Amino acid sequence: MSSSVKKYLQIILFATAGILMFWLAYRGQDVSSLISALDGAHWEYVLAAGVANVLSHYFRALRWDLLLSPLGYITKKSNLFLSVMVMYFANLAIPRSGEVVRCGIVNRYENVTFATALGTVAAERVADLVALAILTLWVLGVQAAFVGTILENNPEISANVGNIFGSLPILIIVFAFVIAFFVILCLLIVKKNIFGIGDKIKNLWSNFKAGLTAILKLENKFLFLFYTISIWFIYFFTLYLVFLAFDFTSHLSFFSAMTLSVLGTFGVVVPSPGGIGTWHFIAIEILYIWGINRNPDGGAYALVAHGVQDLTFIVVGVVSLWLLPFINKNGKHSLS
């Protein structure tokens, strides 16, 4: 099977999963009531949420630049920002493909080795995982009863969580075995330098390790921390702005937006395009616990909050794809 056929099959599979999950989240919604709820939205707040969403990804580009600088790369921030936006656009088609895409872009336009770029992206993910872990502990600690209510109202979720943790030891053993096999195979190839592949693996690992450990070489760790906090703060703020867009959610606080953002993140990690369906389901259930009707109010909020994000990714992502070759024409970069 050719790589192009596999790619299209992946797109179809993930798109089907997203559509199914979206249908499950909205199967009980009354369309006319949903449209009526959307008509009552204050769209200026939604527009502001879209702008804030783009700003958060500009901070992500600035943070990435901090990781590349100690490695000797002087990059154009506009190229980094555009590649980040293309990343999110690509993720809508094939989940988790965007990281590879953005590394390919900086490799092409900034001459950053692909393995090094991938290492810095991995370092970014580690920083974000630490932030998410801290925020999750906060949600579980401060609002444990709230999380318990979600599981109580949805016993199927509680059962699935139990099944996951029940099979976790087996999954860890299998994962460890696969990793060990892969490491041993690579070490054997490197030692024997089979067909010269060993030298290539050593070079790739050296570049990847340099990118991954770039965070230890940061000249301004405070600025890296500031960008990380800013990224997450803006994520919360965009959801809060959409709260203000509807009369039935305008009373909810910024801390409510934090809770929704943290718990909603676990819906995005499910392999559907951009968390379509899973994020909507989680958001609707959380809002219901806060006294917001599932139909149509919760459905309307989830549709707009997630929709403005995806629309931003599509519009800015397409524009970014057009701009990249244009501003880098003949190797000349016309934007700072």
**pLDDT (tens digit, 9 = 90+) per residue, 145-167?**
555 555 555 554 444 444 444 44
pLDDT for position 182: 60
| pLDDT averaged over every residue in the chain | 76
pLDDT tens per residue, range 120-143: 888 888 888 888 888 888 777 666
DSSP letters, 209-233, are HHHHGGGGG-S-HHHHHHHHHHHHH
DSSP letters, 122-186, are HHHHHHHHHHHHHHHHHHHHHSHHHHHHHHHH-HHHHHHHHHHHHHHHHHHHHHHHHHHHHHHHH
pTM: 0.75
pLDDT for position 172: 60
Residue 326 has pLDDT above 50, yes or no: yes
pLDDT for position 228: 93
Which SS3 state, helix, strand or coil, does residue 65 take?
helix
Alpha-carbon span 301 to 248, nearest angstrom: 9
DSSP state of 29: -
295 vs 24, more confident: 295
pLDDT for position 162: 47
DSSP state of 296: I
pLDDT tens per residue, range 18-76: 556 555 556 666 667 778 878 888 999 999 999 999 999 999 999 999 988 888 888 89
Alpha-carbon span 103 to 116, nearest angstrom: 9
- The percentage of the chain sitting over the pLDDT mark of 90, rounded to a whole number, equals 28
**Residue 260 — pLDDT band, cuts 50, 70, 90?**
confident
